[in-house]
Amino acid sequence: MDTVLASLVTQLLAWVAAGPRTHADAMEVWRTSCPRLPAWEEALDQGLIVCPGAGAVPVSLTPAGRDWLARNG
C-alpha cells in the first residue's frame, strides 16, 4: 500500500474509533476520495473494519484495525 493510501486508511480508522459511525456516515464523509472511497475499500479488503450492511448499520474496527491504529495513529 502506498504512503498516501496508508495515511488515508489511518485517518479513516481514527474517525471510526472516535465514536459511533454508520455505513451512511462513512459514505457521506469519505465519498470525496478519488477514486471513490479507496481508503474505505482498502480498510475492508485488509480486514481493518467491519460493516455488515448499508444505511444505519454500524461500522467498527476489527482487532487488526485497532492494531493498525495503534501502530500508525
Q: Quick: pLDDT tens for 37-71.
A: 688 889 999 999 999 988 899 999 999 999 999 99
Q: Which fold has domain 3-72?
A: Arc Repressor Mutant, subunit A (1.10.10)
* Domain spans of the chain, in order of start: 3-72
Rounded Cα distance between 35 and 39, Å, is: 10
Is 70 exceeded by the pLDDT of residue 35? no
Cell (9 digits) for 69: 491504529
More confidently predicted of 26 and 33:
26
For 2-61, strand residue ranges (E) read 21-22, 49-50, 58-61
Q: What average pLDDT does the structure give for the chain?
A: 89
Which residue bears the cell 479507496? 38
User: What does pTM read for this prediction?
Assistant: 0.88
User: Do residues 64 and 48 touch, judged by C-beta distance below 8 A?
Assistant: yes
Rounded Cα distance between 57 and 68, Å, is: 23
